[in-house]
Structure 1
Amino acid sequence: MTKHPLILLALLAPLALAACADQEAEQARLDAIDHRNCADLGFEPGTEAYGNCRLKMKEIRAKEEGNRSPNIGFGVGIGVSKGF
């Protein structure tokens, strides 16, 4: 019975590592895009203005991702009804 967790771990470990690699590759791609955008706008890497530009790029991306995500909310309502 102790072999089953080891088999499961052996099967899931490559999937977890692949997911991390994909996230790292995506982050590197986004960093390159942000660098190019800020450099194209005339900001010099290593300056405060360049750092502010990079932060703004991340804020914009986060806002866009938030707009694409479905808004799910929970609430309590009270209503009055006449019959069914």
Structure 2
Amino acid sequence: MTLLYQEIAEHLDNAIAQGVYRPGERLPSVRQLGEQHRVSPATAVQALRLLEDSGRIAARPRSGYYVTLRRESVLPEPATSA
């Protein structure tokens, strides 16, 4: 079962992959995302943070979220040892 914020993050990730949002371009604001997807601002922020954690986007203070230049520039998370 996919959670709502994961669906929004996937939608944005697909839009980035298709070139709707290009590297360096600003994404819609938290408020705009909430209105577009009919979710609370908290859910929109969760979706953006998921993409930020994956290195797909980056937050700029007082400016918004922007598409990062290259997805490959982010190192994979290390595996958990036993």
TM-score for both structures, normalised by structure 1: 0.30
Greater RCO between the two (CA within 8 Å, min separation 6)? 2
TM-score for both structures, normalised by structure 2: 0.31
More strand by share: 2
More helix by share: 1
* The structure with more radius of gyration: 1
